[in-house]
Amino acid sequence: MTADLGEQVTDAELVAQYRRNSDRFTEVHDRYFRDIYLYVAGRLDTQAAEDIAAETFLLAFDQRDRFDPARGGLRPWLFGIATNLVARHRRKEARHYRALSRMAPEPAAEGPENSVVTSVSAQRMQPRLAQALATLSKGERDVLLLVALGQLGYDEVAQALGISPGTVGSRLSRARAKFHAIIDKESVHG
């Protein structure tokens, strides 16, 4: 009865509880929805993020008996589901990044000197970042965005995608090399 003491139950305890009582799955949603939403919002637009995050938990609920704690944690399992759902939108995502790469930066807003410099740099980089993301393979983009947006570690990314940690490292290395080729120091500093 860890929850009665005001302490958060572990994922393993939560899984055991929601298998006995499906109403406990609400706690899974409450615990991880924000992380999943932010990850998907970073990959797609906010409306798609709401839809995909909700669909992630719907699928997770429907497949809750298929979750195997011996294969990894609950959080990576949910990120894996979300990543698979994002993959359904892959062509739309790639078109989105290509369109962003063609956009001209908007004029910087007025404000303190530091915020103007930051804003100008960010606006100048947006098309290059989008172009770089569009050049990545599906696997490279998934790994990079799970690390950058989902803030997952190598082992969690490996669990989410069903690949080895070594594959995570090599995909991340290739993604970084491609980014470096497109985004050089000169483009950052103008």
Q: What is the pLDDT of residue 93?
A: 61
pLDDT band at 177 (very low <50, low <70, confident <90, very high): confident
Counting residues of the chain whose pLDDT is more than 70, the rounded percentage is 75
Q: What is the pLDDT of residue 101?
A: 65
Q: How far is 179 from 172, CA to CA, in rounded Å?
A: 10
- Both tokens of 118, joined, read 């930051």
pLDDT band at 114 (very low <50, low <70, confident <90, very high): low
Single-letter amino acid code for the residue at 114:
N
Least confident of 4-13, 43-52, 80-89: 4-13
Q: Give 183's DSSP letter.
A: S
| 41 contacts 55 by C-beta, under 8 angstroms | no
DSSP-based three-state secondary structure for 36: helix
pLDDT band at 74 (very low <50, low <70, confident <90, very high): very high
Q: What is the pLDDT of residue 3?
A: 45
**Which whole number is the average pLDDT over 35-62?**
91
Q: What is the pLDDT of residue 108?
A: 47
| Cα 178 to the center of its chain, rounded Å | 19
Is the whole model's pTM more than 0.75, yes or no? no
**Which whole number is the average pLDDT over 131-145?**
86
**Higher pLDDT among residues 130 and 77, named by residue:** 77
Of 53, 49, 50, 48, give the one whose Cα is nearest residue 28. 53
